[in-house]
Amino acid sequence: MGLKTALHDTHILQGAKIVDFGGWEMPLHYGSQIEEHHAVRRDAGMFDVSHMGVIDLTGDRVRDFLRRVLANDVGRLTIPGKALYSCMLLPGGGVIDDLIVYFISDTWFRVVVNAGTRDKDLAWIRRHAADFAVTVALHQDLAMIAIQGPNAREKTLPLLAPPQRVSARELPPFCAAAFDSWFVARTGYTGEDGFEVMLPADEAAKTWNALRAQGIQPAGLGARDTLRLEAGMNLYGNDMDEHHHPLESGLAWTVAFEPGDRDFIGRQALENLRGAAADQLVGLILEERGVLRSHQKVAAGLLTGEVTSGTFSPTMNRSIALARVPRTAALGVQVEIRGKMHAARIVKPPFVRHGKVLIPV
């Protein structure tokens, strides 16, 4: 049996098809993954993301610690509540994990990491935290619900107490606020507006059902994957991993080389690779019928690459993918699907943002 979130029984009652994900029993869908996808793009949907690891880092030197251990620079976070997306790198530049870090105060940062990498992340963080006298605490007492879609915030706000409602309503994008035991962030993984709410596990089922009563559609990992891929967001383990560095994974924008004297782990390796990376991560649109899937071969003339994430886009009614290809590849490529070559086109993600298709099909 896998690990279960505080919402597991609620999912079963609401008809979820459950699958294993990183050792956790999680909902794949509640009937139709495509309807759940459309609900998020057009109205509001919610995901149980309690399997993700919430780690609190505290101490006087916590900022210095994170400036050492993350490739993006928390020195850029000056307003409490502001969030930053970053990779955590091996010395050779490979990606240990991607994460979101929230700046709460000068002595308290909160990090949210992937479920499947949580244990190795914790080990890595603890190993380096000792040098900075930073205390590392994994939360086992929290649930997390991501409410996403154009109407997600309006439908969520009535559930908050009046003073909190005002603060949450005024949160700028990519910012969070801590209210006693709740933590509300205007972040997500779908390309839509919304909140990610961390709350005590014993309040999760009641809150989930209240959100549902507001007309918010429960959605599973299936829709989460099609939404994030349309939004051009990487999935750890598919689009980057310990064997692929950020510069060949579409994540150069998350590596802060400036200021030049910040000595983050992986910096030296990336300095050497800068401008010299042979491969890049690109978007693909399949020009023919069929479905792109991870590990399919991409042929660009004599050069070859590989699909890292592929799916059918419900918003575009077309198959889309992320693929790692040589930087010199021409825009027209061929993808091998079950032994046959199919025409595809290299594009720049995202494919869809805020309900709008950004790339003509």
Residues forming the site for another protein (CB under 8 A): 17, 28-29, 32-34, 222, 226, 289-291, 293, 311-312, 314, 319, 338
Nearest-approach distance from CB 151 to another protein, in angstroms: 23
Nearest-approach distance from CB 107 to another protein, in angstroms: 44
Cα 173 from Cα 165, distance rounded (Å): 16
Phi/psi of residue 42, nearest 5 degrees = -105, -25
Nearer to another protein among residue 186 and residue 342 (C-beta): 342
Nearest-approach distance from CB 34 to another protein, in angstroms: 5
Nearest-approach distance from CB 206 to another protein, in angstroms: 29
Place of tokens 């991870």: 294
Nearer to another protein among residue 50 and residue 313 (C-beta): 313
Nearer to another protein among residue 40 and residue 270 (C-beta): 40
Nearer to another protein among residue 35 and residue 56 (C-beta): 35
Phi/psi of residue 333, nearest 5 degrees = -130, 175
Q: Would you give the DSSP letter of residue 247?
A: G
* β partners of residue 300: 303
SS3 284: strand
Nearest-approach distance from CB 35 to another protein, in angstroms: 8
Cα 229 from Cα 22, distance rounded (Å): 19
**DSSP H helical ranges for the chain:** 8-13, 33-42, 62-69, 118-129, 152-156, 162-169, 204-213, 221-230, 267-273
Place of tokens 């149980």: 48
Question: How many Cβ atoms from other residues are within 10 Å of residue 316's Cβ?
Answer: 17
Nearest-approach distance from CB 189 to another protein, in angstroms: 17
Q: What's the residue count for the chain?
A: 361
Nearer to another protein among residue 36 and residue 248 (C-beta): 36
Nearer to another protein among residue 243 and residue 295 (C-beta): 295
